[in-house]
Structure 1
Amino acid sequence: MTTGTMTSRADFPGMLTPEGQPWHYLDTAATAQKPQAVIDTVARKLGADYATVHRGVYGRSAEMTLGFEAARRTVADFVNADENEIVFTRGATEAINLVAQSWGSSQLEVGDRILLSELEHHSNIVPWQLLRDRKGIEIDVCPITDDGLIDLDAAEAMLTPRHKLVAFAHVSNVLGSVLDVERAVSLAHGVGAKILLDGCQAAPRIALDMKAMDCDFYVFSAHKVYGPTGIGALWAKADILDAMPPWQGGGAMIDRVTFERTTYAPAPARFEAGTPAIVEAVGFASAIDYVTGIGIERIEAHERALTRTAREELGRFNSLRLFGPEEAAGIVSFEIDGVHPHDLGTILDEESVAIRAGHHCAQPLMDRLGVPATARASFGIYNDETDIAALVRGIERTLRIFG
């Protein structure tokens, strides 16, 4: 059992109902609520401090440019990387598409193979399918174990020198299962493949160290780390980024343009065409400052404890089936016999409990689990046992309604 929230709920204005009562928000895996410090930063940068970056010689533009690039350093420090290895994107989805369209298009050939897993988010499936259809590469799918982990024994048996990329979720957005990163990286590199990790669910709750992890690409989104929507980050090793061609053209990513020939800026600017998400980047950094101020190790311990408690409480219902491993990172998925997850979500909403109900952009995983959808409760730094108690009360009411 945990002893309460990691921080004051008062820091999060979204954690109240319109009537001012506690809102039991259990959908942080979809998007996190924002602390007032981030809201204030974004409002200030969008208002009194606002100006463009990288273009103006006037004072406010220069200050905003400094703040924007300081945000890049903050993101780099958050994952123990160098700032020239951080590319700002619209989110993890765009970051994966960037790798597919730039690195994949330039490096992969007919007959090359990519290894994914059964539990991937659609954002780590569809970009590779688009690349497959255009380039003639092949996609293999690694199974998961019965308790919801990527089966690395199976991966080891499947990998061949024809595999040029492994792309796995660091933490499953449905099951909360955590990848054995060290072994996955070793297996990929052992056959000469690069490895990309989808860190959307890991970044808010697991300490990240790109130098120690030794993967080749890592992606995550700000809005899941208590920051704004519309921005995320691609980390890639500097030598890989340097060898990648641009994937979008426009302002800011160029060195010199003529109608005969254009030369491009070095990474990361080469991958950031157009006016960037200035305010969002600074808000991203503010959110990271908030999270690191609490301590990512404390956050992980808190959320794992809540997850254990939730699984214990939900396991008391005979008609309820839990998915995923006993030890999960902040996420619990389940189904109730005879109750569609959407119906459960609707009744819980009447009790001021917010969960996610659906396929969670992971339809192949739903097929593997043998269900069309699940109910998912996911935790953040603002949650405590009262939220679990409210969830349990809502489930009890649902079971009464459905007899």
Structure 2
Amino acid sequence: MLIVVCVKLKPTAQDAAALRATLRQCNAAADYVSRVAFEEKEFSKFRLQQIVYTELKARGLGAQAAIRTIKKVCDAYVTLHANMRAGHLGKPGSERRNRAERKPVSFRPDAAQAYDDRLLSWQHTAGTVSIWTVHGRLKGVPFVGSDEQMRLVEKSRRGESDLVERDGSFYLLATCEVAESHLKETSVGFLGVDLGVVNIATTSKGEVFAGRALNRYRTRQERLRAKLLRKGTKSAKRLLKKRARKERRFAANVNHIISKRIVAEAERTSHGIALEDLQRIRSRARLRKPQRATVNSWIFAQLGQFLEYKARRSGVPLVYVDFTDTRRICSRCHHRNRGNLVSETWFHCTSCSVVAHADLNASRNIAHRGELAWSAGRESRAPATSPQAGGSDAGVAKQPAAPYPQDQPCRAASSDTQLSTVT
């Protein structure tokens, strides 16, 4: 499994100026390469390199930096074309898709720049790096991080690292490969997790992670954004970007804390984790205008990603289940009725008269569906053999147990490589 470890550089003022100039020059070169690729309709790295390599060298980029810049542009167009094919930019002919097709990909002046081992070397004992810049190679630039981050960078770093600038500070994002823990067998059951806005997460064991503090923070930020937008000055726009990044970090920190606690509880009690499959829920929901800002700022996907990669590192099984009517079905008698949900907070079964918190009832239904999905995935799906096939075991199909449930609408946590930031 691949994860991203972020360490902070501590350059001198002169070194910081060199790093800043490097990012500006590399991204200006990337804009040039993007224009050439767009005009020539050439997105192959090899052919594009033949066209622009000499010009990039004349612009002051080193040989390897020029290669990395061309690769960055090609990767950007690969992502753009993949998003178009998937329909993420709208249907053909839509205004959003036309805007993307009419102009080349552009890069911010402070966009990240990839560094491979020829451009960047790490001295872990001294806690420094040697890094290429347009003003020459900088040696002995200190970097700092937590003990876990330093250990991962030293032992598990693989491939390229990205140089980024945020609010005047420089960071290196190092890709590290960590071994996944052996998937543990769960005989106790699954811990259902219901995700929401008022309560960010509610587990089937009764633990509630309230979203009051986060929602109050976001409401305050929304008021401040409105004031800054009305002001409209350059300093106001700079402050808007700064506050947006701060809000994202605050929300990500909340999700990290919640996911750590849920995975730790599941690991301690030998439970698996069952989550709702909320893909494309925003496109399916019909919302009133006052609700749109709240729901669109709901970062359930990030919390799900954090839970998934932390569970994989800990060896905790995790499955996704269908969320349909989890709030309307009684977790005790499984009676389904629209009238069971009295309000967004309370659940009252019209059949067995059980009363419970709506989120707690939903999380118990999710846990039940997780157990069914896990059991279904471990059952044989091979067709029974006919008696004429011979052998004393005719009619009994034997097949190795599947590691994850395969039945839809439930899905297992993805086993593909996933990048997540370590905190």
TM tier, smaller: under 0.3
Name the TM-score, length of structure 2 as normaliser.
Answer: 0.20
Q: Which is bigger in relative contact order (C-alpha 8 A, separation at least 6)?
A: 1
